[in-house]
Structure 1
Amino acid sequence: MPSPERSDEALHVSIDLWYPDCWEIKITERLDVGILGYGIYMTGSEVATLFTIYADDHESVMEGIEAIRASENVHSVSQMTSGFRQTSVPKPGNATRELLVVHDGRKQISQPITSRGFVCTGPIDIRGGREYWSLATNHDRKTVRVKLDEVREQMGAEINVRSLKQKSRGTAPTTLPVDQFTQRQLEVFQLARERGYYEYPKETTAGELADELGITTSTLHEHLHKVEAVLLGGNGLMRLE
């Protein structure tokens, strides 16, 4: 029998966050680039992380790399050869570079989150001055919120819970071909999924989503239709994880 703080089914927790003194957030806030973070390895106060930096053009990517090198919290930056990974991670953006970055782990929010019983289920997407995390945990819903409050207090963080759901049994997620969409299309579609726009009955309306995104309803439908046209051209609507 699970303890009162544990759930017998894993919860999927989607969050976005901001916290001070994070070099990745500062760079994506200042420059028109995004960063995917994965493969974190900690050695004392240092962290080695694999990153994919992405943008719409090569010049923006190179500007982003130079900004990473110039960060006072970054110790070294090494570019990885293309195709070094056995499995590919879909990436948005027309231009990308794979990096191995050694940096100051004392300035990172990863350990405060994972030490509280959360496991990353995919790359951390950092764009527009915020980090987007997909997590799994066996905490119950109340405990999830308590643990995130602890992270907020420890790191001075702003954390927004985008969705908090149990995984459907027997349903295996498929991969969303993110390289076929713009960053804005992915952002709109992901928010629609998380807010329950595709649930039956709907948990939100197009107008509410448009207001949250600061766009018109017609623009929202335009973004969603472009994503849906690609996904429904295959074997039905894929899951975005």
Structure 2
Amino acid sequence: MSDSAAPVGDASGLQLTLKVWHPGCWSIEVTEDRPGGLLAHAVYRTAEDNVRSLFTAYGDTTAEVDALVDAIRDSEHTNSVLELEERYGSSVSTPEAGGVARELFVEETPEHSVNDAFVSRGFLHDQPIRIVDGEEFWPVFYRGSRAELEATLEEIREERDADIEVTRISSSGPPQGSTHRRVDRLSEAQRDAYELARAEGYYSWPRQITVRELAEKQEVSKTTFLEHLRKAESKLLDP
């Protein structure tokens, strides 16, 4: 870890970058032996309870990106791949993003996604996740001390059989406009739905409660609860 002398337990929390590997992940598998890479911008739950993610596939040449997209379509861990009109590609600023970029919606079942394992424990995405050479790099914000962070990461490692390494850490507060600020933009109903889902194990694997059961706890319809929860997730996860 870098910045090892930074103070512990700063009330503003921790900013860090995590290097993550976990089994059954299509994005890790398709980038392991191929040039180019992926940027994961946002993660959503569909009404059917699948996971749909917005990605940029990038590379130095059209052939590299074509091969990457074909591998995503062929993966046994993806359900569908939808190409979009360019949204993020023109503004990709990482040095690895070469001259070709393509925007994708990729749908999968939640079985091999680790996003919920992080979200349910209070991690918030600060920037897009970068996947290159078979590894994921997660820039995240975590409200808590370093001791709490280590214990939380160990829980995720054991729960998801994941390798997680902290490659950068800072105790300074998040910059203006980061994901952390979005919590304040949730409506009361959205915040209540999200906090209840976290507390009751909705984001755990295996899932400990259904949307219908959560709605019953709040004494609202399933449709109403799901609407509040999806809007909260969108505000928290979409950069």
What is the TM-score normalised by the length of structure 2?
0.64
Q: In 2, distance between residues paired with 1:34 and 1:48?
A: 18
Deviations 1:27-68 (A, max 9, x none): 100211201001210135411111000111110100110110
- How far is 1:89 from its partner? 4.4
Please give the secondary structure, in 1, of the residue aligned with 2:155.
helix
Paired position in structure 2 for 1:129:
134
Paired position in structure 1 for 2:145:
140
Q: In 2, distance between residues paired with 1:164 and 1:157?
A: 19
What is the TM-score normalised by the length of structure 1?
0.64
Does residue 49 (structure 1) correspond to residue 53 (structure 2)? The answer is: yes
- Give the ranges of 4+ consecutive aligned residues of structure 1 lying more than 4 Å apart after TM superposition: none
Amino acid in the other structure paired with 1:8:
A
Q: In 2, distance between residues paired with 1:21 and 1:29?
A: 13
Q: In 2, distance between residues paired with 1:19 and 1:93?
A: 26
Deviations 1:181-234 (A, max 9, x none): xxxxxxxxxxxxxxxxxxxxxxxxxxxxxxxxxxxxxxxxxxxxxxxxxxxxxx
The answer to whether the 8 A contact 1:10-1:138 is kept is yes
The correspondence for 1:70, drawn from 74, 79, 82, is 74
Q: How does 1:154-233 map to 2 (within 5 A)?
A: 154-167=159-172
Amino acid in the other structure paired with 2:79:
H
Percent of paired sites with the same residue: 31
The answer to whether the 8 A contact 1:31-1:64 is kept is yes
The answer to whether the 8 A contact 1:34-1:55 is kept is yes
The answer to whether the 8 A contact 1:141-1:164 is kept is no
- How far is 1:119 from its partner? 0.3
Please give the secondary structure, in 2, of the residue aligned with 1:74.
coil
The correspondence for 1:25, drawn from 3, 28, 31, is 28
- How far is 1:90 from its partner? 2.7
Q: In 1, distance between residues paired with 2:115 and 2:93?
A: 22
More strand by share: 1
Alignment length (residue pairs): 167
Q: In 1, distance between residues paired with 2:144 and 2:19?
A: 19
The correspondence for 2:38, drawn from 35, 38, 47, is 35
| Structure 2 residues without counterparts, runs of 5 or longer | 1-7, 178-239
Q: In 2, distance between residues paired with 1:127 and 1:120?
A: 18
- How far is 1:20 from its partner? 1.0
RMSD: 2.4
Does residue 15 (structure 1) correspond to residue 21 (structure 2)? The answer is: no
Q: In 2, distance between residues paired with 1:54 and 1:100?
A: 14
Amino acid in the other structure paired with 1:104:
T
